[in-house]
Structure 1
């Protein structure tokens, strides 16, 4: 028996693309386009601009499998919209079980056939919701799948459900004391061939050890450690990754010189000199001019030299050189505003202002002529030297005036 699917197609605003005339008909088809006007017609509200309805569409004649439903509209002048579509699938109607469950069975990995699994006794029930204990004693170590299915009183078996799991070795429990420990770096020399660590006979080992790395080259290494018990069994190793670095150079001499440069290193001693006293460490503020640098982003580098003629690594700082802002020495003599589009300097709507050095006033600006929606208001001022400022702006929205209800509540 095939399932019957009914589509509820809501919010199809497909008439928007046909905004010049009303929608007069709607048609749908499955899978293959029969041509405009040859689909199945749907009953719609007459003469509407936008289509927003729910439709019941039968899938009775369709075969099992995946299908696509297409829908399009035609307006009053005969123009057709692009279609909208939906992909869906038709399945067999699942059989409804009206008989009680009377038997259950499970098996591992391979299906032995209906009724040949490991039987579990169950009470006659419509639905089974129970916990079972399954023994895995006969299974080898590795990954397995457990399958489970049930049978009803009509002698019909269900589909199986299954679970994947892994069986591991039972871990060996250590009942003997630890009597020996060893470590090695990077490559395993073999059990008992590492560097010995002196330990007391203990059940568990929780100690700190000093392990020298003096013979290792500069770079990244791994240290491995393992222990042996009195039954002559070695543990798995524990490991730690670490890095051997150069011994840092310790400065025992005073700082006698400092220099800075911008952007490109001119070489040690070729930067701009900074006069410093002979000190062990340098913690001062310096005034460094940037007057010769072009507008833009730059980096300043600084380093010092000690009395043993060793230069330090540099410290650096990124900064930006900007234009000097124009300082206004003249009074503000004029102000104007406009909405959305700049009409040009002096062509906005004038605001009456007194001659002042700075403008800090509130103005009432009418928006009655603006359409409903979002707008931007721009404002700028002019000084007595006939120079205009940059504009300031504000985004706002004009709404419909809400209707006032004057009816009395009775």
Structure 2
């Protein structure tokens, strides 16, 4: 259909040499109907009108070039010369009708040979939100290409977007767990910290540090770090947790935790019992600060210390994950 235009005609008006006020003007398109018989427009009465802008509608005119004539008349009835301008009416193209949408991955198979994702007739292709089939692609970077064709057989430009295929996570067994005390030392590096015994392939990391029989220094601090490595050699994130050290005595230890240790003082050894029967980690240091016992106990257990020196022992009872009870025991 013709594109409707409103033309603002800016023309230089040439009038008579004598000074007379311009009172009105007129314009015509293509055909001059005669002086005073065309489309009239008003003017502010003044002796000189150098230029003028008029909104001229070309609605209804056929596509192509058209001629516009403009002139004015003064108060004495004298007409100016007719000024000419041109205007172009263009045809507004009909929107193309899409008939097919196709895509391809990485390598162009040729126009019309891609994977079809929509076909029909319309100015828009609905429902092209489905994901392409990437099941055959190897992990890594790839490129997705999409293009359309219209009812006249004209192809669009081929648009493209990058996509990244990642390998699926495969569950693997934990083969190493290590723990270190951040309070007493820096991270020694992956694979260099004290390793804990792995009893189950799906071990709970934090509980591993609590219940493992492997020695772990907690005498000087309470901020621990634990991590694991799977059978593929991949390390987990390093997990951090704090266990507050609570200083107490034998009587309060029982009141607060249900843990009994006796006798105190002792001469050969001590007996440790947890009232609820839950596992309990007991760590003992001799008077010189040497680790002499670090075990996870179940039920009532006797710890033989007969071969060790007399003096004040420091005992840590670890039953709750975030709390360690510290008790002093005396050997005669």
**Structure 2 length normalisation: TM-score?**
0.35
Work out which structure has the larger RCO, using CA pairs closer than 8 Å and 6 or more positions apart in sequence.
2
Which structure has more strand as a fraction of its residues? 2
**Structure 1 length normalisation: TM-score?**
0.30
Q: Which has the larger radius of gyration?
A: 2
